[in-house]
Amino acid sequence: AQSVSQHNHHVILSEAASLELGCNYSYGGTVNLFWYVQYPGQHLQLLLKYFSGDPLVKGIKGFEAEFIKSKFSFNLRKPSVQWSDTAEYFCAVNADSGYSTLTFGKGTMLLVSP
């Protein structure tokens, strides 16, 4: 069974600091990868996704993620965070096995101090 691990449960940064959130998955075959964000009091929203092609994908709000197949990783990055990036971030994977269900990591709570 596929699984997703997110390295940090809580991250605290100051505005303008750079962000990198780790995500590793366990599945040996083809995968589709996602990052979702949940702002306080809001529903989960898709930040970015990777299916194939360029391993560096860009998403909304200046976020990007890099797929490194050899490391089974899909880390999320942002060069300069803002207070409005305070949210919980979830990495998710779908194994290209004919089913569309997602396996989520446990999430990383990011707090950005002004």
Partner 1 sequence: DSGVTQTPKHLITATGQRVTLRCSPRSGDLSVYWYQQSLDQGLQFLIQYYNGEERAKGNILERFSAQQFPDLHSELNLSSLELGDSALYFCASSARDSSYNEQFFGPGTRLTVL
Q: How far is the CB of 102 from partner 1 (least distance, A)?
A: 6
Query: CB of 33 within 8 A of CB of 49?
Result: yes
Query: CB of 95 within 8 A of CB of 25?
Result: no
Q: Which is nearer to partner 1, 51 or 83 (CB)?
A: 51
Q: Which is nearer to partner 1, 16 or 46 (CB)?
A: 46
Q: Say how far apart CA 81 and CA 14 lie, in whole Å.
A: 8
Q: Which is nearer to partner 1, 53 or 114 (CB)?
A: 53
Q: Say how far apart CA 49 and CA 65 lie, in whole Å.
A: 8
Point out which residues bind partner 1 (CB under 8 A).
32, 36, 42-46, 49, 51, 90, 94, 96, 99-107
**In terms of C-beta density within 10 A (0-12 exposed, 13-18 middle, 19 or more buried), how is residue 38 classed?**
middle
Q: How far is the CB of 17 from partner 1 (least distance, A)?
A: 26
Q: How far is the CB of 2 from partner 1 (least distance, A)?
A: 11
